Amino acid sequence: MLLNNDLIPARTLSDGFTQSELSEMGRCAQKWNWRYNHRLEKAGMIQFPFLVGDVWHDAMEQFYATKGERVSVATLQFPEAAIPSVQDIIDRDYWNHVLPKMFEAYRSYYRGDHLKWKIVSIEEELDIEYRGFRLRGKIDLTIDEPNGRFTLDHKTTSRLNKDIVAGWDFRFQFLFYLWLKSKAYPKQKFKGYYTNATKKPELRVKKNESVPEFAHRVFEDMVQEPDKYFYRDAFPVSPETLQHFQTTVIDHKLKKLEAVLDPKTPIDLAKAIIQDKNTDECQHYNGPPCPYLDLCRHGFQKMKFLYRKKENKHEELEIE
Question: Which residue in 190, 182, 172, 170 sits closest to 128, CA to CA?
Answer: 182
Which positions ≥6 away from 151 have C-beta within 8 Å? Answer: 139, 140, 141, 142, 174, 177, 178, 181, 190, 193, 194
- Confidence band of 315 (pLDDT split at 50, 70, 90): confident
Is 290 within the bounds of a domain? Answer: yes
Instruction: Quickly state the pLDDT bin for 70 (edges 50, 70, 90).
Output: confident
CA distance 188 to 111: 28
The verdict on residue 313 lying in a domain is yes
Residue 5 falls in which region: left (phi positive, over 0), alpha (psi -120 to 50) or beta: alpha
Number of domains in the chain: 1
Q: Residue 32's closest CA among 3, 51, 5, 12? A: 12
**Dist. CA 224–CA 160, nearest whole Å:** 17
pLDDT for 320 equals: 37
| Mean per-residue pLDDT, 257-282 | 94
- Write out pLDDT tens, residues 89-111: 999 999 999 999 999 999 999 99
Res 3: pLDDT:
60
Total-model pTM:
0.90
Shortest CA distance to 128 belongs to which of 175, 191, 181, 193? 181
In a domain, 136, yes or no: no
Question: In this predicted structure, what is the pLDDT of residue 243?
Answer: 96
Q: Give the pLDDT of residue 173.
A: 87
The pLDDT of residue 136 is 96
List the beta bridge partners of residue 148.
Answer: 145
Query: From CA 13, how far away is CA 21, in angstroms rounded?
Result: 12
Q: Read off the amino acid at residue 160.
A: L
Residues 6+ apart with CB under 8 A from 69: none
Q: What's the average model confidence in pLDDT over 293-308?
A: 93
Position 143 in a domain: no
pLDDT at 165: 67
Per-residue pLDDT of 158-211, as tens digits, reads: 887 766 766 776 788 899 999 999 999 999 999 999 999 999 999 999 999 999
User: Residue 286 domain-assigned?
Assistant: yes
pLDDT at site 319: 46
Please write down the HEC assignment for all residues of 246-298: HHHHHHHHHHHHHHHHCCCCCHHHHHHHHCCCCHHHCECCCCCECCCHHHHHH
- Find the domain containing 30 and state its range: 4-42+249-317
At residue 221, the pLDDT reads 97
In a domain, 32, yes or no: yes
In a domain, 289, yes or no: yes
Q: Is 86 inside any structural domain?
A: no
pLDDT at 318: 55
* pLDDT over 90, % of the chain: 79
